[in-house]
Amino acid sequence: MAVRLDKIETPVAGGSDDGSSGTERKAEIKVCTDVEKGEVKAVDESSLAASSQLFNKEEIPKGRMYAIVIGLMLLYFVSALETTVLATVYIDISNMYDDMSNGIWIITSYLLSTTVVQPLYGKFSDILGRFEAVVVANVIFCVGSILCAVSSSMGMLIASRAIQGIGGGGLMTMVSVILSDVTNERDRGKYTGFLAASWGIASAVGPVMGGAIVENSSWRIIFWINLPICVPALIVLYFALRIPRPAGTLRDKLRRIDFLGALVFQAFVIPMIIAFAWGGQGFSWRSARVLATICGAAVVGIVFLVVEWKVAAEPIVPLRLFRKRNVTASALGHFCVGSCIYAPLMFVPSWELSVRRASETSAGLHLLPLMGSMVAAAGLAGVLMARLGRYRQLIWACGAFIALGNSLLILYTPTTSNAQRIGTLVLTGLGLGFGVQTMLVAAQCAVRGLDMAATTTVLLFMRTLGGIFALSILSSVFNTRLRREAAELSARYPDYQALILGAINDQSLVSKTPGVPAAVQRGLQAMFQDALHEVFVGLAPFSGLLVLSTLLFAHVELQQRKKRTIK
């Protein structure tokens, strides 16, 4: 029997799944002709994903859409909360375990595990299913929270925080991916504003809540409160979220997973982040341990790129994404935004605690102007994108406001008024609100629907990585200057050497210790002021790089139809 296989194209109304605009696209139809019998059979390939297309084309009722957004916001809130809730209290926990040298790992372990899993969840959810990925992340996060709450040693707490981060990274990732599934590009900004609000509230409330809990009760409550939030959120999504599962048997799905790429990716990212944590903290940046770890991670990183380019059938990070100008610009922008937000979240409370002699709770409250303005700007940005279909101007405003706000941090002195400090943080918050989610939408509209999850997770990874990188560099600057100032101050006041050296690790000693002479208090205040001033100066290059990255974006039309995001 002679068979001929031909392809014809037929015009179909509507935009395309690859992000191109227009009122007409061409659907490819395979035509199979039996030459001997003269039979012709046509198969429209789009029918292979009928259920996915039905999902992506249907208009979700408002009530169900609000339920989905509420469930996503709750999960986003708890995962973001764990990033900052220990910022002002990890020292108290370290003192309880009498292990100050490892105290910073209570925070770092969560950030590390969150970062390394973010790109993995996107691809796994493409293969195994969106809701299934959310369930796995939620269970891991809850188990990690329970283990943190019952930890009996510093080692157990650090390990439990790492487990919690594996779940938290998945929650943050899947929330953004699912929102991309259920919205079109034009309306997405309105809903990403809700996520930005959730993230902003968590970041602002975290340090305040952590300080208040430690001052009035046990720090273990910080972890127990996650459970009554995660469980109801998952129940809401179970009933409201109706995303079809990817086609194929479990065996077929497992064969599609890029296990080699995932393994090499972990071997690349984990040592790199550990090297960042070591540098300038426990070890010098020039030490053999730090340099060897960075060089080893760089070599493995090259291997990872080769695996994703030449070996993986369905790579975790498809390198073709970076052929799109907006994806590359957004990746750089997310890296810079991460560096420009995580540093103020950590060092502004430190300023209030050590220079202004505020309490842990009060120090956290000083972040409220930043977060409040960020929430307002994110909401406004979403409305403007939906109505005007434009986003580059918002991204430019993001770079300008953040650069201006971070530059004004350099002018901080002990006599800087409340109005000046609030205004500085409001500027930074406006920039973050205008740009964080807008950059994500700009990249998403440039790629085809089936690459949406991979694009989203790569950008979230870059944002977290940028934050960790900047924190490691700036923490090194802070500690180096602080130790030098402490040594000089101890030489002038040898009777208070223990207090001065102890304040390096516990900044609250500046205000908590009674009976300290005014000259020593002023010396401690100046010690932290000088160290933090260098940190704020060191933040300027990241802000400048962010401004440059915002100029790289091209305009791509925001579509009003949903892309097919599930194979």
Is 366 part of any domain? yes
Is 525 part of any domain? no
Q: Would you state the pLDDT for residue 29?
A: 41
Counting the structural domains of the chain, the total is 2
Question: Where does residue 496 rank: exposed (0-12), middle (13-18), buried (19+ CB within 10 A)?
Answer: buried
Q: Would you state the pLDDT for residue 191?
A: 81
In the numeric block, the tokens 């030459």 are attached to 35
Q: Would you state the pLDDT for residue 513?
A: 66
Alpha-carbon gap, residue 478 to 119, rounded angstroms:
31
pTM for the full predicted model: 0.79
CATH of residue 130: 1.20.1250.20
Give the HSE-up count for residue 530: Cα atoms under 13 Å, Cβ half-sphere: 16
In this structure, the answer to whether residues 412 and 474 fall within a common structural domain is yes
Is 272 part of any domain? no
User: What are the contacts of 308-311 at 24+ separation with CB within 8 A?
Assistant: 308/258, 308/261, 311/260, 311/261
Alpha-carbon gap, residue 463 to 118, rounded angstroms:
11
In this structure, the answer to whether residues 184 and 44 fall within a common structural domain is no
In this structure, the answer to whether residues 129 and 16 fall within a common structural domain is no
In this structure, the answer to whether residues 63 and 129 fall within a common structural domain is yes
The alpha carbon dihedral of 493, 494, 499, 501 has a sign of: positive
Q: Would you state the pLDDT for residue 9?
A: 46
Amino acid at 41: K
Q: Which domain holds residue 342?
A: 59-257+314-480+536-550
Is 527 part of any domain? no
Residues of the chain with pLDDT under 50: 1-57
In this structure, the answer to whether residues 359 and 418 fall within a common structural domain is yes
Q: What residues have CB less than 8 Å from 263, skipping those under 6 apart?
A: none
How far out from the chain centre does Cα 347 lie? 18
Q: What is the pLDDT of residues 485-525, one digit of tens each?
A: 888 888 888 888 888 887 777 766 666 666 778 888 888 88
Cβ-count burial 521-534 (b if 16+ within 10 Å, e if not): eebbbebbbebbbb
In this structure, the answer to whether residues 63 and 47 fall within a common structural domain is no
Instruction: Of 242, 182, 191, 174, give the one whose Cα is nearest residue 56.
Output: 182
Beta strand 3-13 pairing with 24-34: antiparallel
In this structure, the answer to whether residues 463 and 403 fall within a common structural domain is yes
Q: What is the pLDDT of residues 364-409, one digit of tens each?
A: 777 888 888 988 898 888 888 888 888 899 999 999 999 999 999 9
Three-state DSSP class for residue 24:
strand
Alpha-carbon gap, residue 94 to 506, rounded angstroms:
10
The CA–CA distances, whole Å, from 536 to 210, 271, 432 equal 25, 27, 17
Report the greatest alpha carbon distance in the chain.
104
- The DSSP 8-state label assigned to residue 115 in this structure reads H
Task: Mark out the alpha helices in 183-283 (DSSP H runs).
Answer: 185-216, 221-224, 227-240, 250-256, 259-278
In this structure, the answer to whether residues 152 and 13 fall within a common structural domain is no
Q: Would you state the pLDDT for residue 562?
A: 60
In this structure, the answer to whether residues 15 and 131 fall within a common structural domain is no
In this structure, the answer to whether residues 33 and 168 fall within a common structural domain is no
3-state secondary structure 486-521: HHHHHHHCHHHHHHHHHHHHCCCHHHHCCCCCHHHH
In this structure, the answer to whether residues 26 and 120 fall within a common structural domain is no
Tokens coding 419: 């109005």
Alpha-carbon gap, residue 329 to 14, rounded angstroms:
28
Is 505 part of any domain? no
The CA–CA distances, whole Å, from 512 to 219, 239, 353, 354 equal 19, 51, 10, 10
Question: Where does residue 409 rank: exposed (0-12), middle (13-18), buried (19+ CB within 10 A)?
Answer: buried
Is 196 part of any domain? yes
Alpha-carbon gap, residue 131 to 137, rounded angstroms:
10
Is 86 part of any domain? yes
In this structure, the answer to whether residues 108 and 20 fall within a common structural domain is no
Is 509 part of any domain? no
Instruction: Of 341, 378, 340, 405, give the one whose Cα is nearest residue 546.
Output: 340
For residue 283, the cross-strand partners are 279
Three-state DSSP class for residue 60:
coil
